[in-house]
Structure 1
Amino acid sequence: MSAQDEESFFVDALTEYQWARDAAGLAPSSIDKLIKPVIEVCDFYGTVPWHLTPREVDKYFAGPGKRARHTNRQKLNHIDAFFAFLEQRYAHEIMMRFGASMESPVDPFNRPVHRGDFGLRIPPSQTAMKEFFARWREQLSHSRKFAVACRDYVMSKIGYISGVRAAELCPVTMGDIHWEHGQWGRFVVQGKGARGSGPRPREAYLFREGRELLWWYIEEVRAEFGDDVEHASAPLWPSERKPKAVAALNLPIAPAITPSTFRRQLHAAAANFLTGPVTDLYPHLLRHVVSA
């Protein structure tokens, strides 16, 4: 592939990014501001985004591109957001066509504070995560509370595969699972709203591995929690404890696990099964695992 091919791909990606943000309801003036910093830095170095390095970004914003602190922070956030878009939609294609890994040049060291949804800590590698889940699954049969251990394992793995947030994953019900949607099935979550619009339902992907794992969990484990697993409103991830209010009303379903409980269980699993430079996990990190 030539430099011209890469430049054309970059222009096409910028256009699609603008379409996506327009579909999300952003004003044209806001969309224009989103892409200007990307073009600015790429033009300065005469390159395309996937060849930018953190050092080049640092040098630019500490030198010729330096502006007021608020302005620089806003530009870095916009650059990182565009890289999140490229990673989500084009990481594989960019690697196949141009041999470049899709990694944002805005890293944990130059990342602005108060960055909202794109604020990340350093996640483990894909290899570390593969080993983590393998060790965890091997120990399930030795767990004192087998059903609870399986719930935590499958919930974490589905969160890792689908990329949904803890607050979206916990309330999923049995009726939210649609095995017939797409190639491998999907499940409905109440996605994060924008500009005060409130949560919006969307479908999350299971993929092949997630479908097989979730089917095993529902067929072999879910009924162990003792409520009516056939009820459409029954939680996919039930709590092991039934609150007194629920018991008094004699409801057929258990309450769902809470995000705080999910975080505690993931922390405990990381302490037992995760090895490498990253020693802890929390739900948000599952959505940002880097390539090995």
Structure 2
Amino acid sequence: MDRREVGGRLIYLPADSSASSEAFLDDVLVGWRRAQITQNFRASTADRRIKLIHRMVDFVGSPPWQWSPHDADEFFAHLRGVRNLSHATIRAYQSDVRLFLEYATNPVYEWNENCGRLFGTVFSQVITEFNRATHVQTNDTQDKRRPFTKAELQQFFDLADLEPERILNSGRKGALAAWRDAVAFKVLYGWGLRAGEGRQLQLVDCSRNARAPGFGEWGLLRIRHGKAMRGSPG
């Protein structure tokens, strides 16, 4: 496969088909990885997605520009029915494949133009509204995992409050850490914070809230660090 840059555009010229197919796919995946890094996705996220594309190529037995929705159905049915992957994992994998094909079919990158010249076919989207896994419920966690009831929450916070006193009475160290944990639990629950957000809180993040003057200097909590970003684990 011969690559030439013409007027700032990368043009691929046909050569040995078997060798050019693998090389062309590698170029597309390298380009997709760069695009993801540019969008502030983590390198580990980009690499995981690329690994999934290779996995699907091996299963289907053909490159992505020859895939059809039927191929996607068989691949994900295998992962769900044979490999027994969770519904949430299947949905995440389908999103990865969809993102890859959105990139490959984007005319800005000219992959389809070169693909048609090389192989006589082009990339197309195989993850559609008809075969994409949807949210079966508002919470994808397993049935045995559930939120606390109000009574259970109260018991949990009561136990956290008693723990510093228990440690002090036992004569052991750790009462201050237990008190810190009790406060942290209440802050996380009260403001609905992620673990990363709560971990990076500082006293300066608390301030007066004009709508709730009764709380004094603790009526408002500003989150400056730890916010989830696209591509991050949250």
Question: What TM-score comes out, normalization by structure 1 length?
Answer: 0.37
Question: What TM-score comes out, normalization by structure 2 length?
Answer: 0.46
Q: Which has the higher contact order (CA 8 A, sep 6+)?
A: 1
Based on CA coordinates, which of the two structures has the bigger radius of gyration? 2
